[in-house]
């Protein structure tokens, strides 16, 4: 069977990308595809390397049944463009910064996570860091919706 590797990317890898990582990892597990799909996350900046996800991200995710406690922030690196099939960024700044580091022949791998949204309309997953409780809930709403669509996409790619 084919395999696929998905990397979620935000700025510091402590809010949005680890949330997406945790949600999608669970969706992959629940669909029985853990043997075929690798999920990870990274940040465009090295602000929080080695740190756990933001406590608020962990709390909000936990309320919906997602465990982020084993995740640690890391910075996007050159090897990621070879290793991963999809690099899913959270916003336009992440897109630009990821694209700047990416070899030209690999740029097709970079997409916005919200391209996979099925019901919600959003061009980006906004940074919740300074927004309070509702910001973290909005991130989860968008991430869950996008991960539904992403799972369909990944299943289709695996079956090609």
pLDDT for position 2 = 84
Annotated catalytic, 80?
Answer: no
Annotated catalytic, 10?
Answer: yes
3-class secondary structure per residue, 102-143: CCHHHHHHEEEHHHHCCCCCCCCCCCCCCCCHHHHHHHHHHH
Reply yes or no on whether the pLDDT at 1 is more than 70: no
pLDDT for position 26 = 98
* Catalytic member of 10, 15, 117, 147: 10
pLDDT for position 160 = 84
Domains detected in the chain: 4-158 (3.40.50.2300)
Q: What is the pTM of this model?
A: 0.97
Mean pLDDT score of the chain:
97
pLDDT in tens, 119-157: 999 999 999 999 989 999 999 999 999 999 999 999 999
* Catalytic member of 40, 80, 91, 127: 127
Average pLDDT over every residue of 31-42: 98
* Catalytic member of 15, 16, 80, 91: 16
Structure tokens belonging to residue 93: 């700044």
Strands 4-10 and 37-43: parallel
Annotated catalytic, 16?
Answer: yes
């Amino acid at each position: 069977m084919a395999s696929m590797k998905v990397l979620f990317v935000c700025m510091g890898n402590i809010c949005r990308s680890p949330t997406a990582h945790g949600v999608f990892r669970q969706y992959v597990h629940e669909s029985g595809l853990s043997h075929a799909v690798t999920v990870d996350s990274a940040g465009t900046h090295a602000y929080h390397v080695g740190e756990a996800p933001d406590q608020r991200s962990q709390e909000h995710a936990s309320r919906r049944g997602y465990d982020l406690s084993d995740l640690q922030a890391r910075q996007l690196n050159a090897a990621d463009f070879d290793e991963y099939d999809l690099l899913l960024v959270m916003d336009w700044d992440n897109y630009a910064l990821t694209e700047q580091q990416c070899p030209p022949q690999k740029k097709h791998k970079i997409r916005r996570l919200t391209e996979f949204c099925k019901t919600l309309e959003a061009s980006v997953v906004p940074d919740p860091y300074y927004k309070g409780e509702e910001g973290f809930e909005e991130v989860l709403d968008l991430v869950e919706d996008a991960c539904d669509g992403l799972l369909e996409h990944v299943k289709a790619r695996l079956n090609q």
